[in-house]
Structure 1
Amino acid sequence: MTDPSTLSYRPCAGVMLVNHEGRVFVGQRIDNTLEAWQMPQGGIDPGEDAHAAAVRELREETGIDADQVSLIAEAADELFYDLPSDLVGKVWKGKYRGQRQRWFLFRFNGQDSDVRIDTPHPEFRAWRWADPVDLPRLIVPFKRKLYEDVLAAFADHLN
């Protein structure tokens, strides 16, 4: 059994994407059978800026390009979550105990038809717009506090 305290956190960028109605993009992961929905997020590559990683992850997971969004805010602090003990040592080649994330709030300036989750390496099997207050209830339980922290970070900018 891997001792989580000996592992570091995986650097990551997350995107809260809001449409013109103030609803947030969420997708259901292809690799998970749970009825859980999450916002786009992913690892920051070595030497990559967090904002650039957020825009890249958004494109890779949703097909939405940088010219279809505008930055509203960036969370002031990194946000963290720990993996449940049964996943430590199994995901990310066992190198991390969880993630440390930089979160960005973007306005989606496109149309729903611009969202294309059928990307070359799809991560979502379905997507929808959700009310921000519902996000902690929609995510897998071990990320619930993270999503509450994201909502708190962007509270001044949400309807």
Structure 2
Amino acid sequence: MADTDLSRYRPNVGVVLFHPDGRVWYGRRANTPGPHNWQFPQGGVDEGEDYEAAARRELAEETGVTSADLLAQTQEWIAYAFPADYGGTKQARGWAGQKQKWFAFRFTGDESEIDLAQHAEIEFDAWRWGALDEAPDLIVPFKRAAYEQVVQAFAPLVV
């Protein structure tokens, strides 16, 4: 989406949390029927908020995880457009889609730290570890191209 005007795209961050063995963390979106309902943590950036700080905040809110070391981040925006029939609140507020900075973190804690009910707004109702290259097949189709870029960016981190 390099030629897309991103001024109408909501600033967002995404997180790929790597297990020490190279697998990555997937959350199943709460109240979302399958099959494409698994994704990485992601969320909006508050006005004036540092992108890494936003990524760490979203990771903690959605997963409970705070024990994580930064491995890498994307420099360019990775964007996706909302489908015409999406009808979500972000689209209703005039956003055409989301532009994301992605962060890769290595999980350094114990799995008991993972708490999907950490935040009042529960994003995920289940989680699992899986292969990074599974991501494009697990996500909703309109985010697939963005997830392909994330996989390509972070593939060198797989051990």
Please indicate, yes or no, whether the TM-score normalized by the shorter chain is above 0.5. Answer: yes
Does the Cα contact within 8 Å between 2:132 and 2:155 map onto a contact in 1?
no
2:32 and 2:93 mapped to 1: Cα distance? 18
Task: Percent identity, please.
Answer: 44
Residue 94 of structure 1 is matched in structure 2 by: 93
Residue 27 of structure 1 is matched in structure 2 by: 27
Does residue 49 (structure 1) correspond to residue 47 (structure 2)? The answer is: no
Instruction: Give the TM-score normalised by the residue count of structure 1.
Output: 0.89
Per-residue CA distance 1:101-153 (angstroms, 9 max, x = gap): 00000000112211110123211011111111111111111111111000111
Does the Cα contact within 8 Å between 2:78 and 2:146 map onto a contact in 1?
yes
Per-residue CA distance 1:4-43 (angstroms, 9 max, x = gap): x8x7001001000000111111111114223320000000
Does the Cα contact within 8 Å between 2:23 and 2:158 map onto a contact in 1?
no
2:104 and 2:40 mapped to 1: Cα distance? 11
Q: Secondary structure at the match of 1:45?
A: coil
2:39 and 2:158 mapped to 1: Cα distance? 18
Any residues of structure 2 matched to 1:107-146 within 5 Å, and which?
107-121=106-120, 122-146=122-146
2:124 and 2:52 mapped to 1: Cα distance? 21
Give ranges in structure 1 of 5+ residues lacking alignment.
none
Does the Cα contact within 8 Å between 1:76 and 1:153 map onto a contact in 2?
no
**Cα RMSD (Å) of the superposition?**
1.7
